[in-house]
Structure 1
Amino acid sequence: MAEVRARVQLKVGKNSKIPAEIVSFHGLLDGEEHVALIFNNADKEPNPLIRMHSECLTGDVFHSSRCDCGEQLDECIETMHKVGGIILYLRQEGRGIGLYNKIDAYVLQSQGMNTYEANNHLGFADDLREFRDAALMLNALGVNKVKLMTNNPRKVKELTEAGIEIASQVGTSAHIKEGNEAYLAAKVSRGSHMLDLTQVKK
């Protein structure tokens, strides 16, 4: 059973003006340092908005053109600032393959492979992430029923299987920019993500 380790207030977002609480945990299964960001005391609500966001250094920090991760995170922070919610920030870089392997995959993508084909070529499955720790983090916060902010049906399935009730699903926007069109198209065609990519050539 996971337990809360520490809680502290801070300000986040593009201009570091959005108040939030960051929470660390004891007893997570994979040994990684996952954290929760809580907005507007959402852990006290009966059915809070939740986002499971997997770490993406290139997108979240460096605003890479290769993906939409940083834009999704920014959108989530802004939304939860308004309506409340909890971001579970999961240390699962590159859908679980790690940073260096993700950069190796970028090389292959530059040669014409999509993101899934590149991972497979390196010997990895399409997606190595697990979300049991996300459920444990919610349990530690006293949350067992959520509105899940995601376009990924796998997250809905795995969180449900881990014992969290999904009251509803809320999608994120399609953050299309020069350089990530093929990445987003692959997420739809191969990963079954629910995104409207009418502007993206597949």
Structure 2
Amino acid sequence: MNPRYTRIPAVVTGPAPTPGPPPAQVRARVAVTLDRAEGRRAELVTFSGLPDPGEHIAVIVPHPAHRAPVVRVHSECLTGDVLGSARCDCGTQLDEALQRVAEEGGVVLYLRQEGRGIGLYNKLDAYLLPDRGADTFEANQLIGRGADERDYGVAAAMLHALGLDRIRLLTNNPDKVAQLREHEIDVVSVIPTSVHVTSENARYLEAKALRGGHTIAVGGTP
């Protein structure tokens, strides 16, 4: 071997790592007045690059910059939110969230996750089964869907896009807290929502507590 040269051992490398998808970004901000939030001015924010194709939005009422904002992650419920159905507490929870952010500022993330992620028509199919004895979670499973198919990673992506990594979360659902923390959202406190119980939704709320682990009390249900 020529002494003027040094042999360099070959380096074998694997394929270059595949880059992940780019982070979600804010697409547009639209100013609106919200009658359901005491006439407060708010922004409706849309996004691009979210991890699922749903047209999710954020409703933002200005909040103090020095404090973690109140955030409500709310899954769409046409029957409750729009039509005022008494079978669930979704509409009253949305009204409570809008009232809360009207008072102190904050964010409502409105996720297009109708029927805990199974869609409107499937939800209405499942509605027939509680009338025959199944609870709301069993009903989803009896039509071949998951008891709760929601993935809150999309909510975390929206919060990251908004620059909101520290929040106070308005919820009774520990799964929301856990999933957001898994996606690097610092939930500094959990604010319980009120329990909106009626004669028509009592069994639904009991199932949320017993089967879904929600921190609510309905009658004698812990």
TM-score when normalising by structure 1: 0.94
Does the 8 Å CA contact 2:36/2:98 hold for their aligned counterparts? no
Question: What is the SS of the residue equivalent to 1:11?
Answer: strand
Q: Distance in 1 between matches of 2:207 and 2:217?
A: 13
Does the 8 Å CA contact 1:14/1:74 hold for their aligned counterparts? yes
Q: Distance in 2 between matches of 1:15 and 1:84?
A: 10
User: Does the alignment pair 1:190 with 2:205?
Assistant: no
Matching residue of 2:28: 6
Q: Distance in 2 between matches of 1:157 and 1:112?
A: 31
> Counterpart amino acid of 1:28?
L
Matching residue of 2:200: 179
Matching residue of 2:127: 106
Q: CA RMSD in A?
A: 1.6
Matching residue of 1:67: 88
For the pair shown, which has the larger CA radius of gyration, 1 or 2? 2
Question: What is the SS of the residue equivalent to 1:77?
Answer: helix
Match of 1:117 among 138, 141, 153: 138
Structure 1 residues 131, 15: closer, same or farther in 2, change over 3 A? Answer: closer
Gaps of at least 5 residues in structure 1 are: none
Matching residue of 2:61: 39
> Counterpart amino acid of 2:26?
V
Q: Distance in 2 between matches of 1:13 and 1:178?
A: 28
Structure 1 residues 141, 201: closer, same or farther in 2, change over 3 A? Answer: closer
Q: Distance in 2 between matches of 1:35 and 1:58?
A: 19
Does the 8 Å CA contact 1:46/1:143 hold for their aligned counterparts? no
- How far 1:201 moved relative to its partner? 7.5
Q: Relative CO higher for 1 or 2, CA cutoff 8 Å, sep ≥ 6?
A: 1
Match of 1:30 among 24, 36, 52: 52
Does the 8 Å CA contact 1:11/1:20 hold for their aligned counterparts? yes
Question: What is the SS of the residue equivalent to 1:129?
Answer: coil
Taking the TM superposition and a 5 Å limit, the aligned residue runs for 1:81-100 are 81-100=102-121
Does the 8 Å CA contact 2:36/2:99 hold for their aligned counterparts? no
Structure 1 residues 61, 45: closer, same or farther in 2, change over 3 A? Answer: farther
Question: What is the SS of the residue equivalent to 1:14?
Answer: helix
Does the 8 Å CA contact 1:181/1:201 hold for their aligned counterparts? no
Structure 1 residues 52, 15: closer, same or farther in 2, change over 3 A? Answer: closer
> Counterpart amino acid of 2:95?
D
Greater than 3 Å deviation, 4+ residue runs: 13-16
Q: Distance in 2 between matches of 1:4 and 1:87?
A: 15
Q: Distance in 1 between matches of 2:162 and 2:63?
A: 11
Q: Distance in 2 between matches of 1:16 and 1:75?
A: 12
Matching residue of 2:16: none
- How far 1:19 moved relative to its partner? 1.9
Query: Deviations for 1:157-198, whole angstroms, at most 9, x for unmatched residues?
Result: 000001101100001000012310100000001001011212
TM-score when normalising by structure 2: 0.86
Matched residues, number: 200
> Counterpart amino acid of 1:139?
H
Query: Deviations for 1:57-79, whole angstroms, at most 9, x for unmatched residues?
Result: 00000010110000000001001
User: Does the alignment pair 1:21 with 2:43?
Assistant: yes
Match of 1:52 among 73, 80, 102: 73
